[in-house]
Amino acid sequence: MESITAIAARNKGKLALENLEKYKQLGKGGDGAVFQISHNKCVKIFWKEKTQKLELEALKKGQSSPIIPRLYEYGSNYIVMEYVNGYNLKKYLKEKKRFSDSKIRQILYMLSELKRIGFLRHDTEVRHIYFNEKGEVKVIDHKRAFTTDRTYPRKLISGLEKLGYAEEFLQGVKQISPTIFNEWAKYYE
């Protein structure tokens, strides 16, 4: 198949939905649409170039971390990045009906990595936490990494609450890392 760079070059450096009709669409939302372009790559087209710049900045900054998808190439309204072949946390909880200590540890690791790489937002939504084929945690959708200053995972806890797993998660955090649990307690209670 034709490369994304070649497709964009034919269209003044930009991509549009009709340019990617032959690829599998993975999702479409308020910020753009995502298509799988190979077994290990996907492309996200952004409706607004400003949103693309925010996400690109975060992906670039996060390349030192295994939790951030690999960045391959980009243009003014798109980013080609690692396709995370796996399942998200929401699907995991719906299927398993419980939180394992291993998954709680991975989420705590993920949150500490967001802090280590310099993101202001140490939080994400349940649907943006993925586990790849090897079971490794990955996080997608980082447009608010530097614009939202949040050291408490409010979105994560809120999403887990809606699914009925917030209390189980927090009890696991309390057992695994009482220090983190105590830091969060002032926000949660």
pLDDT at 76: 92
Flag whether pLDDT at 189 surpasses 70.
Answer: no
Mean pLDDT of the chain: 93
What's the pLDDT tens digit per position in 100-142?
A: 999 999 999 999 999 999 999 999 999 999 999 999 999 999 9
Per-residue pLDDT tens digits for 40-78: 999 999 999 999 999 999 999 999 999 999 999 999 999
Buried/exposed code over 64-86 (b: 16+ C-beta within 10 A; e: otherwise): eeebbbbbbebbebbbbbbbbeb
Res. 156 pLDDT band, cuts 50 70 90: very high
Q: Which of 82, 110, 126 is the endpoint of a domain? A: 82
Q: Which of 71, 76, 73, 49 is nearest to 60 (CA)?
A: 71
- Residue 36 sits in a domain whose CATH number is 3.30.200.20
| Domain total in the chain | 2
69 & 99 share domain:
no
Does 58 lie in the same domain as 94?
no
Residues 103 and 91 in one domain: yes
Domain identity same for 119 and 159: yes
Looking at the fold, whether 96 and 184 belong to one and the same domain comes out as: yes
Task: Point out the domain boundary residue: 57, 82, 107.
Answer: 82
Higher pLDDT, 63 or 152: 63
1 has a pLDDT exceeding 70: no
Contacting residues for 27 by C-beta, under 8 A, at least 6 apart? 33, 34
Same domain membership, residue 164 and residue 106:
yes
Same domain, 62 and 108: no
What pLDDT, on a 0 to 100 scale, did the predictor assign at position 110? 97
Residues 146 and 178 in one domain: yes
Phi, psi of 146 (to 5 degrees): -115, 0
Query: Above 70 in pLDDT, residue 7?
Result: yes
Out of 82, 105, 125, pick the residue that ends a domain.
82
166: containing domain? 86-188
- pTM here is 0.91
76 and 99 in a single domain? The answer is: no
Q: pLDDT category, 2, cuts 50, 70, 90?
A: confident
Strands (E) in 37-182, as ranges, are 41-46, 71-75, 78-82, 86-88, 129-132, 137-139
